[in-house]
Structure 1
Amino acid sequence: MSGERLIYLPLGGAGEIGMNAYVYGYGKKGEERLILVDLGVAFSDMETTPGVDLILPDIAWLAERADRLEAIFITHAHEDHVGAVAHHYEALQAPIYARAFTGNIARRKMAEQGHPEDAVHLASAWPETVQAGPFTVGFLPVSHSIPESAALVIDTPEGRLIHSGDFKIDSNPVVGEAFDPDLWAEVSSVGVRALMCDSTNVFSTHPGRSESEVGPAIEELVASAPGMVVATTFASNVARLKTLAEAGDRAGRSIVLLGRAMRRMVEAAVQSGVLSDFPSVVSPEDATQIPRENLMLLVTGSQGERRAASAQLARGKYLGLEMKEGDLFLFSSKTIPGNESGVIRIINQFSEKGIDVVDDTSGRYHVSGHANRPDLERLQDIVAPQMVIPMHGEHRHLREHVRLAESKGRMGIIATNGTMLNLSGNAPTVEEYIDVTKTYLDGSIKIGALDGVVRDRIRMALNGIVVVTIILEDDEPLGEPWVELMGLPETGRSKAALAEVLEADLAQAVGRAGAKTLMNDDALEELLRKQARKTAMDEIGRKPEAMVVISRLG
């Protein structure tokens, strides 16, 4: 026996939706040559990660083995698959392969972070392949909600693997390639050892709808609107942007793109050749001179993002454009769980202005980019894999997907982030568990999820802050301590000013302190911190975070 093994290790995207990063390896244990499929981000929220800009996968395990990393392959240009490429490039330094549209986006990200754009290599679709150590990798076209999405055909010494990426079965996706069952059957005819498969919509029991089905409903809605029409969708959904723009164009409206991401995606689609007949657009400046009933704005912010164009229009003017009573705002998108409050806030702000808002409650103006359960079954029937390994889903999605595979007589196994599988035998086995967390991009600095920075930020937000300052000379207090309050009420139960009550109790505590405490910064800090929190608890029923500043003269 050679002792070589074929391994699969998700570092992100398995047990969660977003932040995809999947490692494949082949070779002797501890000497495997590696490839990485996707390197995406997740987005922060004020409840669990306040102030964090992006959440990146923890690549510490891979970075320690970067000398064995042959290449990075990106399936498509959604942020949860490509968003971390530039942020982690310095640690990995491996060539990046992607199709033209995805490569265009990846190169822009590399340039923004000061990395060489030529580290991103453009690859053609199947049957052309890329050799990466013991792996031969081909980009197999799939339909999704962004152009030039691809599954990966990964040939290894142990047999063929297929990594589905995000996909749906759509015979008419408007932009990009249709799902080709004959091509998939041909690719699978040699036998597929394992299918790593998207699990997002495993609980949706009806067949998925085509992107082309939303066009007539959108066209009817836009044509019947008396005032200005504004529509938002995912900026990356170029097919939907085209459908919306064509609906506006046919209704005799001038099209305006608002939002950097929206313009960037359309530009990338045109430059890479996947979009050639997008209706002409006018600038926001020129739009201010056009009657509002002849305008259609396509704007960013379908998930309620505070800085996006839709939120700014809800608050008032944006680039000289303003919505008024009788106008129409369309959410041609699904609200991702966790974003509901932001979307509802925007809807209510528009409602207060007398603007009609149409969302996707009816299902007429949006279709998912992910395969529903019947489509997952169909893909399994076409590919006929020996093993099914669910990915891109929360644990409940992965578990249900395994049940689906087993109901069709196939082996399935749950492998969440950090679970290393050995795929060499007749059944997948767990080799080991890797400790993976998350990395936060906080401003321009990367911090670990366990570093305590965000934890402290949450505690400050929840509890408020008391800053206690004291000056000593020759180990004797020079005056009494004073406090500054942040995020706390001005008065407490005693009806006196909270700062004055705190300062009085702190002065008494210092007066009672012995010489040993006054000489020792640690002891004095602990005394003042405990007293500040005790007094605050008595006054306002809350223990704030307490910061003590001790200054010594002489």
Structure 2
Amino acid sequence: MNNNGDAELVFLPLGGIGEIGMNMYLYGFGPADDRQWLMVDCGVTFPSGEEPGIEIITPDTTYIEAERNLVGIVLTHAHEDHIGAVEELWPRLRAPVYGTRFALTLLKGKLAQRDWGKQVELIEVPYEGRLTIGPFDVEFINMAHSIPETNALAIRAGGGLVLHTADWKIDEAPGLGEPTNVKRLTELGDEGIDALICDSTNAVTEGATFSEGEVAETLKKLVADAPYRIAFTTFASNVARLIAIAEAAHAADRHLVIVGRAMRRIIDAAEETGYWPEHLSYLDEEDYGYLPPEKVVMLCTGSQGEPRAALARIAEDEHPNVTLSRGDWVVYSSRMIPGNEDGIYKVYNNLSRLGVKIIEHHPDGPIHSSGHCRRGELRQMYQWTRPRVVVPMHGEDRHLYEHVNLAKEEGLSALRNVRNGVMARLCPGPAEIIDEVPVGRLLRDGTLLLREDDGPLRERRKLSFVGTVTVFVVVDRKGEMAADPHIVMHGIPNLDEHGQLFAEIAERAIFNAFDGIPRPRRKDPRTLGEAVRRSVRGAINQAWGKKPLCTVRIATV
């Protein structure tokens, strides 16, 4: 990097490091007190059982909102964990959004549902295009992945060069689009890469990922061998996989039926952008009932056991248009994402009750391939690019740890402790951690975005474990109870282990608290309410072992 006064090129993840999903990376250039920032990706993650009522989760952008020097948002590809937060956060960020046609096509559909959607400046970048965004020179480089038009970014500023790989793998037969552009990556290595910010998802796995071409051949055999209906469930965004299944149906003279909105939305985008072959026709789910079983190939959403997805509803025999019967096959052309096991196994069990054969593996070849590089592919990336330093991203702690160790085994320097909120200077000089900034998560609750530590969300988590008690007490002017207390309970057992009603336990606790307060002090609603609250929670805890949320309302007559 050329000497440019006090200017530095820094890297600051707000999401995506120490986790898989919710990708949001900032690159800053300039002196410490006057940096301009480029955001790479703006993604979401999805809630677990620990966030009841929450629909999606995004990074907290408070830091970059305060900086006010965001020159652009660049999208590497169209997966939800890379673009899904744009429709949630753009009013806070208000920067131009750059991406290739397929990513922007999907994003436009999302923004069309927002009142402010037309305000977003969307700038389409041509295939392997190069453009200037503020002080940054950004070059798009084609990478093989599990969705069309995935790009690494060569980011130049002040003479420094950083390669941000995004999600990638090596696949000479990707099924759609071109293979990873090894020639350009090698040329960048010759130019001199200061830092490689690199995918770590499969850094714990040796070897190389299967090719989509190999998967396509196995799926073709499965369709040819199926005696009756055969249904495939996979990640809807994997257009190459969807086309492979459609081609298999076409070769077997079967009808392809699309079941699930997400699947249809991706196919619509693939048609609009020219990726869906014209000779491959398909039917909607309303046509399913008219087809002979031996002529059906289905594409269904729900590979991760999502309860509202098509496959879960079919397995429960609750889908309005589609059924499966004994002897039909369901092929899981996907991997089980950790945390989704319960939902997936529930669908498995429901399908088994219907007599459906579940296929997760095939002796003749792979039925799924990851979109992320394994250790063998990482070694090749190091050989092509020869960076001064490797900074692992897109992975949980164990993936990042193994990625650092692998880089060092291959003779490269690597930064070990970069996590969300940790700022690293990439150049000039040796790469090192220089600062930390506050980070967190925003949770969409209905139409609101709330910080994860907001009181209502904490209360809701607690409600899901301990229930709630609401107590109404009426006190007259003399400090006496004017009527029996009224108790409303939710999420609390009816009886304790001795067969006593919890309502009676609570009522006794109310009277004990009331009688324990001198009559003059009973006229103070705060004093009386707090005493009753403590007494009720304590009594229920003694009988149940859990302290419910308790609200007390005092009325004076």
Q: Smaller-chain TM-score range? A: over 0.9
Kindly tell me: are residues 402 and 361 of structure 1, through their superposed partners in 2, closer, same or farther at Cα, counting changes over 3 Å? farther
2:282 counterpart SS class: coil
Task: Give the corresponding residue for 1:433.
Answer: 436
Matched, 1:534 2:538: yes
| Rounded Cα–Cα distance in structure 2 between residues aligned with 1:238 and 1:551 | 63
Matched, 1:469 2:507: no
Residue 504 (structure 1) aligned to one of 495, 501, 508: 508
Task: Give the corresponding residue for 1:445.
Answer: 448
Task: Give the corresponding residue for 1:217.
Answer: 218
| Rounded Cα–Cα distance in structure 1 between residues aligned with 2:299 and 2:293 | 14
Do 1:395 and 1:416's aligned partners in 2 also have CA atoms closer than 8 Å? no
Residue 491 (structure 1) aligned to one of 482, 491, 495: 495
| Rounded Cα–Cα distance in structure 1 between residues aligned with 2:48 and 2:251 | 39
2:240 counterpart SS class: helix
Percentage of matched positions with identical amino acids? 35
| Rounded Cα–Cα distance in structure 2 between residues aligned with 1:517 and 1:83 | 55
Note the C-alpha offset of 1:542.
Answer: 2.8
| Rounded Cα–Cα distance in structure 1 between residues aligned with 2:361 and 2:60 | 35
| Rounded Cα–Cα distance in structure 2 between residues aligned with 1:307 and 1:97 | 32
Matched, 1:543 2:547: yes
> Residue type of the partner of 2:270?
A
Task: Give the corresponding residue for 2:189.
Answer: 188
Q: Give CA-to-partner distance per residue, 1:502-526, whole Å, 9 cap, x none.
A: 2133124323322343222221121
Task: Give the corresponding residue for 2:32.
Answer: 29
| Rounded Cα–Cα distance in structure 1 between residues aligned with 2:521 and 2:357 | 66
Do 2:100 and 2:124's aligned partners in 1 also have CA atoms closer than 8 Å? yes
| Rounded Cα–Cα distance in structure 1 between residues aligned with 2:176 and 2:482 | 74
Note the C-alpha offset of 1:273.
Answer: 2.1
Task: Between 321-330 and 536-545, report the one with greater CA deviation.
Answer: 536-545
Matched, 1:43 2:33: no
What are the within-5 Å matches in structure 2 for residues 141-540 of structure 1? 141-277=142-278, 279-360=280-361, 364-414=366-416, 415-474=418-477, 475-540=479-544
Do 1:245 and 1:278's aligned partners in 2 also have CA atoms closer than 8 Å? no
Task: Between 469-478 and 315-324, report the one with greater CA deviation.
Answer: 469-478
Task: Between 411-420 and 106-115, report the one with greater CA deviation.
Answer: 106-115
Task: Give the corresponding residue for 1:123.
Answer: 125
Do 2:161 and 2:193's aligned partners in 1 also have CA atoms closer than 8 Å? yes
> Residue type of the partner of 2:61?
I
Q: Give CA-to-partner distance per residue, 1:383-402, whole Å, 9 cap, x none.
A: 11111111001122112111
Note the C-alpha offset of 1:325.
Answer: 1.1
| Rounded Cα–Cα distance in structure 1 between residues aligned with 2:18 and 2:545 | 39
2:463 counterpart SS class: helix
Kindly tell me: are residues 278 and 157 of structure 1, through their superposed partners in 2, closer, same or farther at Cα, counting changes over 3 Å? farther
| Rounded Cα–Cα distance in structure 1 between residues aligned with 2:159 and 2:424 | 14
Task: Between 361-370 and 409-418, report the one with greater CA deviation.
Answer: 361-370
Note the C-alpha offset of 1:185.
Answer: 1.5
Q: Give CA-to-partner distance per residue, 1:177-222, whole Å, 9 cap, x none.
A: 2112122222332111111000000111012211110112111112
Do 1:163 and 1:195's aligned partners in 2 also have CA atoms closer than 8 Å? yes
Task: Between 393-402 and 235-244, report the one with greater CA deviation.
Answer: 393-402
> Residue type of the partner of 2:427?
S
Task: Between 226-235 and 517-526, report the one with greater CA deviation.
Answer: 517-526
Note the C-alpha offset of 1:543.
Answer: 2.3
> Residue type of the partner of 1:36?
M
Do 2:194 and 2:427's aligned partners in 1 also have CA atoms closer than 8 Å? no
| Rounded Cα–Cα distance in structure 2 between residues aligned with 1:32 and 1:58 | 20
| Rounded Cα–Cα distance in structure 1 between residues aligned with 2:249 and 2:145 | 23
| Rounded Cα–Cα distance in structure 2 between residues aligned with 1:551 and 1:113 | 44
1:14 counterpart SS class: coil
> Residue type of the partner of 1:63?
E
Q: CA RMSD in A?
A: 1.6
Kindly tell me: are residues 276 and 252 of structure 1, through their superposed partners in 2, closer, same or farther at Cα, counting changes over 3 Å? closer
| Rounded Cα–Cα distance in structure 1 between residues aligned with 2:409 and 2:124 | 39
Any unmatched runs of 5+ in structure 2?
A: none
Note the C-alpha offset of 1:455.
Answer: 2.2
| Rounded Cα–Cα distance in structure 2 between residues aligned with 1:497 and 1:441 | 38
Task: Give the corresponding residue for 1:20.
Answer: 23
| Rounded Cα–Cα distance in structure 2 between residues aligned with 1:477 and 1:107 | 62
> Residue type of the partner of 1:402?
V
| Rounded Cα–Cα distance in structure 2 between residues aligned with 1:92 and 1:71 | 9
Note the C-alpha offset of 1:136.
Answer: 0.8
Do 2:160 and 2:427's aligned partners in 1 also have CA atoms closer than 8 Å? no
> Residue type of the partner of 2:493?
P
Task: Give the corresponding residue for 1:55.
Answer: 57
2:223 counterpart SS class: helix
Do 2:76 and 2:153's aligned partners in 1 also have CA atoms closer than 8 Å? yes
| Rounded Cα–Cα distance in structure 1 between residues aligned with 2:406 and 2:428 | 22
Task: Give the corresponding residue for 2:86.
Answer: 85
Do 1:480 and 1:507's aligned partners in 2 also have CA atoms closer than 8 Å? no
Q: Give CA-to-partner distance per residue, 1:226-254, whole Å, 9 cap, x none.
A: 12111100010011111112212222221
Do 1:304 and 1:342's aligned partners in 2 also have CA atoms closer than 8 Å? yes
Do 1:129 and 1:139's aligned partners in 2 also have CA atoms closer than 8 Å? yes
| Rounded Cα–Cα distance in structure 1 between residues aligned with 2:399 and 2:500 | 55
Do 1:284 and 1:321's aligned partners in 2 also have CA atoms closer than 8 Å? yes
TM-score in terms of structure 2 length:
0.96
Kindly tell me: are residues 481 and 317 of structure 1, through their superposed partners in 2, closer, same or farther at Cα, counting changes over 3 Å? closer
Task: Give the corresponding residue for 1:11.
Answer: 14
Note the C-alpha offset of 1:256.
Answer: 1.1
> Residue type of the partner of 1:102?
A
Note the C-alpha offset of 1:361.
Answer: 8.4
| Rounded Cα–Cα distance in structure 1 between residues aligned with 2:248 and 2:278 | 13
| Rounded Cα–Cα distance in structure 2 between residues aligned with 1:182 and 1:120 | 29
> Residue type of the partner of 2:20?
I
Do 2:196 and 2:387's aligned partners in 1 also have CA atoms closer than 8 Å? yes
> Residue type of the partner of 2:488?
E
Q: Give CA-to-partner distance per residue, 1:338-377, whole Å, 9 cap, x none.
A: 1111101100110111111112587721010000000011
| Rounded Cα–Cα distance in structure 1 between residues aligned with 2:204 and 2:278 | 36
Do 1:231 and 1:332's aligned partners in 2 also have CA atoms closer than 8 Å? yes
Any unmatched runs of 5+ in structure 1?
A: none
Task: Give the corresponding residue for 2:106.
Answer: 105
2:294 counterpart SS class: helix
| Rounded Cα–Cα distance in structure 1 between residues aligned with 2:519 and 2:399 | 63
2:33 counterpart SS class: coil
Note the C-alpha offset of 1:546.
Answer: 1.4
Do 2:9 and 2:428's aligned partners in 1 also have CA atoms closer than 8 Å? no
> Residue type of the partner of 1:232?
T
